[in-house]
């Protein structure tokens, strides 16, 4: 039987993923070299190849973990909503807040997901895209429960994508630690869903 991995092995992989996400977000997957990532980790390229077989393996593990984490958020929100007896609107609003808080912490991973999924080989790309579709489906489900009259079959996709549009590109303009927090922005998104641009 193979000797077990060092206790620090998993921790080191997570460090690599954090640094790689930064490099990918700043330079893009193709422009970021293994040497760049190694430098960011304070190690050598050869050491990097001890932990991951290839640059693409780093990208896949990064996106795999991140998208799995997003699905966990959906499940946790459903559990919390049931336990606290939230109604359908409050459940959707909790989901929006939960995702925006996550996005504030995961900006670099999120950029990699949006920009670099295309650089995976087809089979791995499909795994990530399927997971993204599952997240979209969850939001559609929450929206349909919260706003059943508006969420007709023909409107389900465009209205879901409108909500994703409001949430998914906050990293392009909203700075963590600025005057408006991601939590504040979540409340603005929820208000706009509730009554559009009408006055308060």
Partner DNA sequence: CCTACCGATCGGTAGG
List residues near DNA by CB under 7 A: 2-3, 5-6, 9, 12, 30, 32-36, 43-47, 49-50, 53-56
- Burial of 100: CB neighbours in 10 Å, binned 0-12, 13-18, 19+: buried
Buried-state track 165-181, b at ≥16 Cβ within 10 A, e below 16:
ebbbebbeebeeeeeeb
1 binds, among DNA, a copy of itself, none (CB under 5 to 8 A by kind): none
- 116, two tokens: 């670099």
Our finding on whether 30 is near a copy of itself (CB under 8 A) is yes
- Burial of 3: CB neighbours in 10 Å, binned 0-12, 13-18, 19+: exposed
Q: Taking the chain, what is the end-to-end CA distance rounded to the nearest angstrom?
A: 66
Q: How far is the CB of 120 from a copy of itself (least distance, A)?
A: 13
Q: Which residues inside 93-122 make contact with a copy of itself, applying CB under 8 A?
A: 115, 118-119
Residue 130 vs 184, nearer CB to a copy of itself: 184
> Which residues contact a copy of itself (rule: CB under 8 A)?
26-31, 115, 118-119, 143, 146-147, 149-151, 154-155, 157-159, 161-162, 164-170, 172-174, 179-180, 184-185, 188-189, 192-200
């Amino acid at each position: 039987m193979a000797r077990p991995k060092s206790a620090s092995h998993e921790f080191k992989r997570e460090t690599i993923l954090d640094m790689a996400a930064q490099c990918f977000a700043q330079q893009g997957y193709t422009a970021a070299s293994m040497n760049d990532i190694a430098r960011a980790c304070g190690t050598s390229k050869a050491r990097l190849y001890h932990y991951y077989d290839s640059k693409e393996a780093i990208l896949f593990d990064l996106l795999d973990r991140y998208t799995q984490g997003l699905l966990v958020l959906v499940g946790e929100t459903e559990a919390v909503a049931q336990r606290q007896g939230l109604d359908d609107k409050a459940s959707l609003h909790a989901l929006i807040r939960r995702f925006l808080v996550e996005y504030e912490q995961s900006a670099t991973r999120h950029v990699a997901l949006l920009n670099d999924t295309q650089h995976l080989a087809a089979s791995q790309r499909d795994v990530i895209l399927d997971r993204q579709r599952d997240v979209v489906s969850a939001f559609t489900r929450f929206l349909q429960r919260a706003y059943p009259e508006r969420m007709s079959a023909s409107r389900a996709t465009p209205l879901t994508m409108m909500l994703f549009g409001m949430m998914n590109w906050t990293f392009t303009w909203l700075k963590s630690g600025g005057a408006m927090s991601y939590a504040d922005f979540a409340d603005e998104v929820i208000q706009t869903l509730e009554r559009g641009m009408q006055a308060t």
